[in-house]
Structure formats: structure tokens, C-alpha cells
Chain A
């Protein structure tokens, strides 16, 4: 079991600094996935590649302190139809503390090998996180800003072992990506199934390649929006007492990776007024062959 109290803030920040420095120095490729923060499309990681991505969420619940939550994601393409990921989560809350809040293991599978009008992906995740987790990588059940306002000293002691299933449906139509995710999450501690949804739409701002290396040209930018929220639980499948967000997003392909940003607007009183999200993703190509090559030259 992960004990958040064992990981104090200096250790976490040192780890983060070292990690970001290493990421900046390693040769990287462009990550090709959509700039969504919550929604998944049917893009999987290319086989043998490792993508390192950070997703930061910044918000402030009503009558509480500002917080920043960081999820660091390691995503590996096992095969063309199977991608596996490890998330490490943390957060810092103003006038409270900085915590490591747990980890998530997830796998995504494409059951159909061909591209179709709608492409299904099956998603299965195990989460071992504390109640202090504020990353909002999904919104389910009756999640709301009240959960985010509770003091870290109380929520860090709540350990949640959860299984999460998603049905991802995604289409690429005339250079638009349209994705729908249906989420079912179960706290393994005898709590009911909770449900949620995420919808996303995105398109490159220019579809024709210019043929010149550039940073600020329109083909490097992707615009879109996502919407996500809770749908209650198995006892009350409802929109009442749930939270919902709509968030315009922008993605920017840079020589060393992909930057993305969104501002999420809460759609009801149970939601945060605004949640800002910042993402950075870099892809390390064919890391499996690095190990094989190094092993072979010894």
C-alpha cells in the first residue's frame, strides 16, 4: 500500500526535477496522439515506443485553497493493438502540503484490427490512490468540488483501490477526430459502481504539410474541445448532484514533444468554476531495440 506520508514534498520535487531534466536531454520524437486531457481516442502508442507525458491540473474549490495536481504518465506500445501505461500522481495544495497520491496501471486494447467508421477500444485500469488525489483524470459518480476542498490531512489517510473500465469509441472523419468514452469505476472496498462520460472533438488547424521544418505554422496546432462529467452510480443513475465540464483545448507539436493546454469551465454549482490543464508529452522511439542493441554489444 502506498503511504503518502512517506513521500514528503522535497523528495517529490527532486524526483520531478530530475525526471524533467532527463526528459529534456534524451532524443525524442513527436507524440502523435490527440491533445485531450480526459478523453481517449483510438490512437495507441506505436509498438516499441515509450511516451512520457505530464498532465497538470490547476484549480480552486469554493472556500478552499488553490491546488496543483501532477500526473506523470509512462505509456508503452506493447503491440500495434495493445498499449500499457503507468501513472504516478501527486498534488500540492496552498497552505497545506505536497503529497504523492498514488499510482494507476492501465491497459488499452483494440479488438478490431482494421480502421472502421467507429473504432472501439477496451480500457481496463487499476488505481491505488489516496483520497487526496486531485488530478481529475476522470469524473465519475457524484464527484464534485466538495471532494477537492477537503483538507489533505484528512484525505491522505483514505486509500482507494479502484478498478475502472472504459469503452472508447472513436472516429476519424474528414480530418476531425470524434471520441466518446463511457466510464464505469468500482471502488473495490464494497462501494457501488460509478459512471461517467467524456466526449472529445479535435482537428489540425491546417491539414496540408508545408514541407518546411517550422514551429509556429498552423499544421503544428490542433484545436478542439472536450466535455466530461459524472452520471451517478448504480443506485442512482442520474445527473443530479454530479459535476460537468466543457473545455476548449489546443495542442502544439514542437520539435521535442507536444504541448497542450485547456481551460475547463464548470457547468453547474457542483463543479469547479474553472480548471486549467497543461500537458507535455515526449516520445522515446523504439526503446526495446535500445536494450537489445546494448545487450548485443557487450
Chain B
């Protein structure tokens, strides 16, 4: 391989590695669009939101994340973490809507939006 081609290939590999490292190091919430990140929970002050969110959690989330939301420590993570605490309500609603299909978290876009906000209220209450 001629030296110039070798240098080009080397630089390309280094660039790809740097991009992958940056992606791995960035928080999940960095991917949330600014518009979604800034959204506030319209049901945060609704008196029945926590109990409604708890019921939705029991029906759809508890099977993986456990009744105390501590997960299994492996593929089904705890929901009582600094990462959840540091997220905005908009981040959490966006993540519930999108899921993370590549890592086993289903998209909950099939739930009505109001119920996703109730779930966010419940998740806030258990932190």
C-alpha cells in the first residue's frame, strides 16, 4: 500500500473511532430533539396522574423493570438512576414514544400520549 493511501485509511479509521467514542460517551438525552427536550408535562399537577401512571407501569413496565423499578441489573435497567433524575419530562416522554428497539425497549407510541405523560409523572414520583 502506498504511504499516502495508508495515511488516508489511518486517518479515516481514527475519525470513525473518535465518532464512535463520542457517541458512546454522550448521554441518551443528547439525542432528544430540542423541541421535545423542552416540553413540560401537562399532567404533572393532575391529582390522579401518579395513581394512573402506577397502574400503567404495572400493566406494561413491571414485567421487565420489576415492581420497585430496579430492573434486573443487566438488559432491563433500573429506573431509579441519576440518568432518569437528570432528564426533563420531555426527554422521558420522547424516550417512551421512541423506545430503544435495538436494545429491547419497545416503543410505547401505541399508548395514548396522555398515558405516557401519566407514566412520566409516576416515574418522577419514585425517584
Contacts and interface: CB of A to CB of B under 8 A. Distances in A.
Given A81-B102, A115-B97, A115-B98, A211 B48 contact: yes
A79 B100 CA distance: 11
A54 interface: no
A81 B101 CA distance: 6
B28 to A, nearest CB: 13
Given A41-B110, A47-B104, 6 more contacts: A80-B100, A80-B105, A81-B102, A113-B101, A114-B98, A115-B99
A136 B56 CA distance: 34
A29 interface: yes
A209 B102 contact: no
Contact of A80 (B51, B63, B101): B101
A33 B103 CA distance: 20
Contacts of B44: none
A235 to B, nearest CB: 39
Contacts of B114: 175, 207-209
B107 interface: yes
Interface of B: 48-56, 59-60, 63-64, 97-107, 109-115, 118
26 contacts: A29-B59, A30-B60, A32-B110, A34-B110, A47-B104, A77-B106, A79-B101, A80-B101, A80-B102, A80-B104, A80-B105, A80-B106, A110-B101, A172-B110, A174-B113, A204-B112, A207-B113, A207-B114, A209-B52, A210-B52, A211-B48, A211-B49, A211-B52, A211-B55, A211-B118, A212-B55
B109 A115 contact: yes
Contacts of B103: 80
A110 to B, nearest CB: 6
B108 to A, nearest CB: 9
Interface in A205-251: 207-213
A285 interface: yes
A59 to B, nearest CB: 30
Nearest to A80: B101
Given A80-B105, A115-B98, A286 B64 contact: yes
Band of interface residues on A:
20 to 34
A43 interface: yes
Interface of A: 29-30, 32-34, 41, 43-44, 46-49, 77, 79-81, 110, 113-115, 172, 174-175, 177, 204, 207-213, 285-286
B48 A46 contact: no
Contacts of A47: 104, 106
Contacts of A113: 100-102
A36 B60 CA distance: 20
Nearest to B113: A175
A286 B63 contact: yes
A178 to B, nearest CB: 12
B66 to A, nearest CB: 11
Closest CB pairs A-B (n = 7): A207-B112, A80-B101, A209-B52, A211-B52, A211-B51, A285-B63, A211-B48
A41 B100 CA distance: 18
Nearest to B102: A113
Nearest to A214: B55
Contacts of B118: 208-209, 211
A80 B98 CA distance: 12
Given A46-B106, A209-B56, A213-B55, A29 B63 contact: yes
A211 B103 CA distance: 30
Nearest to B72: A289
Nearest to B105: A80
Contacts of A212: 51, 55
A233 to B, nearest CB: 34
Nearest to B53: A209
Contact of B106 (A44, A175, A204, A208): A44
